[in-house]
């Protein structure tokens, strides 16, 4: 089965543009649940540009779907993850000036610090995934660090959906699964490019945000999610 995690960061982006309480990310998460999404993803960035601490607490307490907390591997975020104890934590690289997460986490370069960091979170009951580029070196490093899952960065493929870029994701997914890692994918996915990623059988979770929230302006959030789930299920059924 292929799960869909809906990233609701940009509901908060819109809310913060006016500094009020509308549109509410918790309401969006509850609609995502009604539409059939399997989890909610939210990225608590160091600069709190969209999701804020109170959003994470409310998403965790008021939304029945499992929460996947995206965060950088900092001491501040570790304390929050240990306190909130979300279903899952996805570790991502973070640069203050970037518009979105550019590239995967260089797990291979930070194995020594990441291993105990991941252990603390997983011992506390949250599954850890590492957001990495689709290559063997990073998959091996993720395994060595003890993470239960990886999320393959699909941004390069989304920008240029060439057979080579798709194959890199498929190969990394196969390799990671053979090592016993749970394989997820996400970034830049939309109605056009999701089918090919969903047809990679080793991938069991997609995390999709910006496109779905943007599309919801035109069709509503629930229909946008239902259409995405339909694309994912059709790709899976065709295997
Ligand atoms: N997965 C991770 C780890 C991300 O950082 C993001 C972007 O916040 C996404 C998935 C979703 O990407 P998009 O918003 O482009 O769908």
> What pLDDT is stored for residue 94 in this prediction?
83
pTM to 2 decimal places: 0.97
Average pLDDT over residues 98-126: 92
Q: Which atom of ligand 1 is nearest to the CA of 210?
A: 14
Q: Ligand 1 centre and the CA of 117: distance in Å? A: 22
> What pLDDT is stored for residue 92 in this prediction?
96
What CATH number does the domain containing 200 carry?
3.20.20.70
Q: Ligand 1 centre and the CA of 193: distance in Å? A: 14
> What pLDDT is stored for residue 103 in this prediction?
82
> What pLDDT is stored for residue 221 in this prediction?
98
| pLDDT above 80 (res 97) | no
Q: What is the pLDDT of residues 193-234, one digit of tens each?
A: 999 999 999 999 999 999 999 999 999 999 999 999 999 999
Give the structural domain span for 52.
Answer: 3-237
Regarding the beta carbon of 104 and ligand 1, being less than 6 Å apart is answered no
Regarding the beta carbon of 92 and ligand 1, being less than 6 Å apart is answered yes
Average pLDDT over residues 72-78: 97
Q: What is the pLDDT of residues 41-70, one digit of tens each?
A: 999 999 999 999 999 999 999 999 999 999
Cα gap 124→121, rounded to integer Å: 5
Q: Which atom of ligand 1 is nearest to the CA of 188?
A: 15
Which residue among 102, 149, 210 has the greatest number of ligand 1 atoms within 8 angstroms of its CB, and so is best to mutate? 210
> What pLDDT is stored for residue 99 in this prediction?
74
Total count of domains within the chain: 1
> What pLDDT is stored for residue 222 in this prediction?
98
> What pLDDT is stored for residue 21 in this prediction?
97
Mean pLDDT of the chain: 96
Enzyme catalytic residues = 43, 70, 187
Regarding the beta carbon of 150 and ligand 1, being less than 6 Å apart is answered no
Average pLDDT over residues 100-107: 84
| pLDDT above 90 (res 101) | no
CB 205, CB 3: distance < 8 Å: yes
Which residue among 186, 206, 215, 221 has the greatest number of ligand 1 atoms within 8 angstroms of its CB, and so is best to mutate? 186
Cα gap 82→92, rounded to integer Å: 17
Regarding the beta carbon of 55 and ligand 1, being less than 6 Å apart is answered no
Q: What is the pLDDT of residues 150-203, one digit of tens each?
A: 999 999 999 999 999 999 999 999 999 999 999 999 999 999 999 999 999 999
Banded model confidence at residue 93, pLDDT cuts 50, 70, 90: very high
């Amino acid at each position: 089965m292929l799960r869909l995690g809906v990233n609701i960061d940009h509901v908060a982006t819109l809310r913060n543009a006016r500094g009020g309480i509308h549109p509410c990310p918790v309401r969006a998460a509850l609609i995502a649940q009604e539409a059939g999404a399997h989890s909610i993803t939210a990225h608590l960035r160091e600069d709190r540009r969209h999701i804020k601490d109170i959003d994470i607490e409310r998403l965790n307490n008021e939304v029945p779907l499992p929460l996947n907390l995206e965060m950088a591997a900092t001491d501040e975020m570790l304390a929050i993850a240990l306190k909130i104890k979300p279903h899952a934590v996805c570790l991502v690289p973070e640069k203050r000036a970037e518009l979105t997460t550019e590239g995967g986490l260089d797990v291979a370069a930070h194995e020594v610090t990441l291993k105990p960091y991941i252990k603390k979170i997983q011992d506390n009951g949250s599954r850890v995934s590492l957001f990495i580029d689709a290559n063997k070196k990073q998959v091996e490093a993720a395994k060595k660090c003890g993470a239960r899952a990886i999320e393959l960065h699909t941004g390069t493929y989304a920008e240029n959906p060439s057979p080579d870029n798709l194959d890199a994701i498929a190969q990394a997914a196969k390799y990671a699964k053979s090592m016993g890692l749970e394989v997820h994918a996400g970034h830049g996915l939309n109605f056009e490019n999701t089918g090919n990623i969903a047809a990679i059988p080793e991938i069991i979770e997609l995390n999709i945000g910006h496109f779905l929230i943007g599309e919801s302006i035109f069709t509503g959030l629930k229909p946008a999610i239902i259409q995405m789930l339909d694309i994912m299920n059709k790709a899976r059924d065709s295997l």
